[in-house]
Amino acid sequence: MELDLSPRLPKKVYGGDGGSYFAWCPEELPMLRDGNIGAAKLALEKYGLALPRYSDSPKVAYVLQGAGTAGIVLPEKEEKVIAIKKGDSIALPFGVVTWWFNNEDTELVVLFLGETHKGHKAGQFTDFYLTGSNGIFTGFSTEFVGRAWDLDETTVKKLVSSQTGNGIVKVDASLKMPAPKKGDREGFVLNCLEAPLDVDIKDGGRVVVLDTKNLPLVGEVGFGADLVRIDGHSMCSPGFSCDSALQVTYIVGGSGRVQVVGADGKRVLETHVKAGALFIVPRFFVVSKIADTDGLSWFSIVTTPDPIFTHLAGRTSVWKALSPEVLQAAFNVDPEVEKAFRSKRTSDAIFFPPSN
């Protein structure tokens, strides 16, 4: 059976006046199921509220567009009300309850990537809603709800039946939602557009890595992430994850070409990608990207909290470490060709600007 790594767009799962929820389907992107990866996207219109929910999977959220407010409640902790904006990354461990609200004219769009090893469905998030027509209250009898919260039957019926929406609703503009609290972002959010750069290559590209060093909650989530931006016509060096991690990549902006090479030197993917597409690179497969004129940016998760990558070009590549004689024999070339090969790409760069 051929391995299908083709990039895919998400499908709408539900929505209404307040916004929509989209997800990538394991039936269309089999690597989601095979790698136990979930991917979804939330889009909220003005006054749209994503009702409180928790998930069966740990996730990393990345704000693609707009600004708004997020409520986060870790198990046995107080609610954190956080102002969120484009470029924010948020680690969401098991058991966290969240809600999301947009009070701006611009649509708020949030990407969710995570692992589904312990989820109910491989390759798909399952959310459990606290309220709404599909909330947990609707499943319990009025007797159970009344006894659990010490409420009379009339109040219980109001609680259970008043909210007819599910998942996402649009609240009245007159309702005053909680204001973000100063200091609540600390330890929960890293803005990848403002954070110190882990890699910065002039006219090449820039990387911000989300790991346990700059966001400790990543350790509880169990995987890391990064935001990579490369300039027009620049190349990201061929490389692979050398700690058996999967690379899940969402194209944030721009466009470009991607090639992936697997076992036996077989090119398993050659495609053109643009904003909105998602694809997965299997363990140990080598991937490289070249940006179009408008550049290329992507947000990825790697299924280990502190990933280790091996790049196959540049001063630190494995080619530089191997002895000249081994390379000559391995490539079956003369010393002059080996020397020319070794003498190129002598910097530590992993991004290569176009040649003049």
d(CA 250, CA 334): 42
Helices (H), 25-100: 30-35
Residues of the chain above pLDDT 90, percent: 67
Q: Supply φ then ψ for residue 20, to 5 degrees.
A: -140, 155
pLDDT tens-digit series, residues 63-109: 999 999 999 999 889 999 999 999 999 999 988 999 999 999 999 99
Give per-residue pLDDT as tens, 149-169.
999 999 999 999 999 999 999
Q: H helices within the chain, ranges in order?
A: 30-35, 142-149, 153-161, 217-221, 318-321, 324-331, 335-343
Three-class SS state of 295: strand
pLDDT(348) > 60 = no
Lowest mean pLDDT among 93-107, 140-154, 203-217: 203-217
Q: Summarize pLDDT for 228-283 with one digit per residue, the tens.
A: 999 999 998 888 877 667 889 999 999 999 999 998 899 999 999 999 999 999 88
CA angle, corner 62, sides to 211 and 7, nearest 5?
100
pLDDT of residue 345: 62
Element (H, E) at 54: strand 48-55
Mean pLDDT of the 324-330 span: 87
Lowest pLDDT segment from 24-28, 297-301, 342-346: 342-346
Judge whether 166 and 19 are in contact, CB under 8 Å.
Answer: no
pLDDT tier for residue 347 given thresholds of 50, 70 and 90:
low
- Is the pLDDT confidence value at 12 over 90? yes
> For residues 263 and 146, what is the distance between their CA atoms, to the nearest angstrom?
60
Report the C-alpha gap between 257 and 273 in whole angstroms: 6
Amino acid at 272: H
